[in-house]
Chain A
Amino acid sequence: MADRLIATPPPHLKAGNTVSEAMRDVIIALIPVSLASIYFYHYYAAFLLVLCMGTAAITEIVVRAALKKRHTLGDLSAVLTGLFVALLMSPGSPWWTAVLATILAVGVAKELMGGLGWNLFNPALFGSVATIILAPWFGFLSRDLSGLNVNFGPIDAISQATPRAMLMQGASLPDYGTMLLGFPGGALSETSPLLVIIGGAFLLYRGHINWRIPVAMIGTVAVLSLLAGGDVIYEMLTGGLMLGAFFMATDWVTSPINNKGKWVFGIAIGALVAVFRFGVGATEGVAFSILIMNAFVPLIERLTKHPSFSEPAPKPATEDA
């Protein structure tokens, strides 16, 4: 008789896909735009990328240790969140804001919510937006920590207005081709919409993201921009719309799980982006819109729940009913 037959429950076969493989693919998809940011912002971009990813890993280890849980660095989600935070930063932002945003993202938005899978808000967006809101109260840090500032030399692009601001102020932007290919001014991820789209296409090809959310979101922004009399192409290529549509709104944990829900979610985000851009005149419209809709995901899921295959067909209304 065999010494040790394994008798665990079915199914006994397993598809090869894992969470860490998916996270690895998202990191790979972000490499091109990360390189573009280094191309435009030199060492400062590289510094932010390393700083945020390192901070993310340390935050994950520390917070989970405090919660007496084993660390989950292996699923790569913490490092990926750090990468996202860095890509959402403007090259001119003080380094401590990047650290704060990363700690809020990984420590608060993810781990304190219960860890990967339980977070309501996209961690990287939560960290970045919370930092934008909190930064004015922490202005003293810029002064107190100034001795620690690292000088990477002058970067012309940093002092330049962001393309979104230029668009709002009616300044003329470079031609469409340049804007698509690469133009500095905004956050690290906004340097090259084309490379972000290529990364998104890779994720679609690998089956990690669902096409419905980017199509719904970008389509809605395009239609509403047209109605609002904006320049549709520039609206597409600025303000991190592509990163939001392909990488942020498609986050598994914080987007609706079924297809109908994904349509609703994408369209609602697109509509909010248009409101922020044409109604409020805010520059962080994409981030705010996604975070707002993150909060509505449980409601969207409840309203879009599809019936079971075994659900009896509704009885046809009788004539006297």
Chain B
Amino acid sequence: MALNDIKEGEGKSFVGGTHVPHYKSYTDSIAIERMAIPDEVVVHLSQHIGAPCEPLVAVGDTVMLGEKIADADAYITAPLHAPVSGEVTAIEERPNAEGGETMSIVIAAKGEQDAYQPSVERNPDDMSAEELKEAIRDAGLVGMGGAAFPTYVNINTDQPVDTLILNGAECEPFLTCDHRLMLERADELIKGAEILMRCIGAKKTYIAVETNKLDAIGVLDEKLGGRDDMEVVPLAVKYPQGYKSYLIKTITGRDVPRGARSAALGCIVRNVGTTFAAYEAVVYGKPLIERIISVTGPTVPDPGNYVVRVGTKAEHILSECGVDPDELDGAKVIFGGPMTGLAQDNLEVPIVKSTTGVLVLPPEMVREDMVYSDCVRCGLCVQRCPNWLYPNELSILAEHGVYGDLEDWDIWDCIECGVCAYVCPSNRPIVHFIKRAKPIVDEL
């Protein structure tokens, strides 16, 4: 397919899903900027899938930017590094985005706050695959698209992997951080992909991008210059196009049975942000102390894509973008995108390595007045479910507490993307019902 002929909306796709308004124009043409460093950062000791870290510092210690402050002995984990230079003022439970609390290292920023200075300058070509993986492990990389799975564990596979898929679909509305990264950091992204290919032994990389980002597709395609081992794959604009299993099926045609790790399918999917971080980790020894997030919403005075230190609180991020926290009555502040992101009622919550954005939905976009009613079996959720489930049945069984039948309707296959609840004319909180039922079904 000639990439310069492709039009918005065209491209490969999975079966199912739905069109959601993009709302991307608030930020998609704004270049990435650095956000001012906050006075205090809160670094959760558990911000990845796997074992939580143990602190390597104590209250009162002085830490330097990028210094390792926490790690764990477990295999599935990722170390943490100081996002600012300063003093450890507390190690205690602090609020998290899920509404609970997580043990955290609190650091007060002190002294000169410079941008990160490279500790090394390495040429990846001179490094062995093992050295590359070590650099990624040491930098504390995790999946930055939202899953937060430790990257080292993901790429340290002895399965033969032939394909790397870079996930630049960014199918969540409002978010544009991956879009801007592909546009502005294309060279580094491609080098990052080369590094990951060497780590896993892949022969081919596909960069998956939805065709509402034609400029990014154009830039990447031009930079690739027709090389054989990397290719941009334009994807139809449809939610949830960027879900890992669907990308594998759409791009490679391979089935993704439940429980199968993608490496077992000869395929590894990495978010573009993670890939860029891998480049910085390997070449400059830079740990994951900051990331690009979209701060957006129709009423945000100064929306954009900002490089923000891990552990920065929502409060700081919003006020840096001109939002007055006292003017948010009846609004929603969402960590992540509007389809799967979590609404916050406490602006003390800090961002973690996998936070993709901070979104402010004004009261007129918050439909709290709507009640829900019984399922009328319109079939929209069944038609649109990207995992080909029966959300209608799941929601009715979960609503009425018939937990024993939920496994027959494959509740564990639900990826909680939110498509069913989005299209439901009875306004049923289908995903909420399913999420609430999962732990109960697990206990049965």
Residues of A within 8 A of B (CB): 1-15, 17-19, 21-22, 72, 75, 114-118, 210, 252-253, 255, 257-259, 305-313
Contacts and interface: CB of A to CB of B under 8 A. Distances in A.
B425 A17 contact: yes
Contacts of B325: 1-2
B341 A12 contact: yes
Interface string B166-186: 000000010000000000000
B130 to A, nearest CB: 33
Nearest to A307: B388
Given A72-B373, A308-B389, 20 more contacts: A2-B326, A2-B327, A2-B329, A8-B343, A8-B368, A9-B343, A9-B435, A10-B342, A10-B418, A11-B338, A12-B338, A12-B341, A12-B365, A18-B425, A19-B425, A117-B374, A257-B382, A305-B390, A310-B245, A311-B410
Contacts of B342: 10
Interface in B388-427: 388-390, 392, 410, 413, 418, 421-423, 425-427
A6 B330 contact: yes
A257 B388 CA distance: 12
B339 A13 contact: yes
A253 B338 CA distance: 30
Contact of A6 (B331, B347, B373): B331
B374 A7 contact: no
Contacts of A3: 326, 329
B91 to A, nearest CB: 24
Given A4-B330, A308-B413, A15 B387 contact: no
A45 B376 CA distance: 30
A164 to B, nearest CB: 31
Contacts of A115: 374
A6 B20 CA distance: 22
B366 interface: yes
Nearest to A16: B425
B343 A252 contact: no
Contacts of B426: 19, 117
B240 to A, nearest CB: 11
The majority secondary structure among interface residues of chain B is loop
Contacts of B375: 117
B429 A309 contact: no
A275 B95 CA distance: 68
Nearest to A313: B255
Contacts of A118: 374
A253 B431 contact: no
A308 B387 contact: yes
Interface in B367-389: 367-368, 370, 373-380, 382-383, 386-389
A10 B340 contact: yes
Which 3 pairs from chain A and chain B are nearest by CB?
A: A11-B418, A312-B257, A2-B328
Contacts of A258: 379, 382
B432 interface: yes
Given A309-B387, A310-B257, A117 B340 contact: no
A310 B387 contact: yes
B258 interface: yes
B99 A309 contact: no
Contact of A9 (B260, B365, B431): B431
Nearest to B328: A2
Interface centre among A13, A252, A257, A309 (most CB of B within 10 A): A309
B422 A19 contact: no
B113 to A, nearest CB: 26
Nearest to A72: B373
Contact of A5 (B256, B333, B413, B431): B333
Contacts of B388: 306-309
A258 to B, nearest CB: 6
B102 interface: no
Contact of A116 (B374, B386, B392): B374
A142 to B, nearest CB: 37
B345 interface: yes
Contacts of A252: 376-379
A115 B373 CA distance: 10
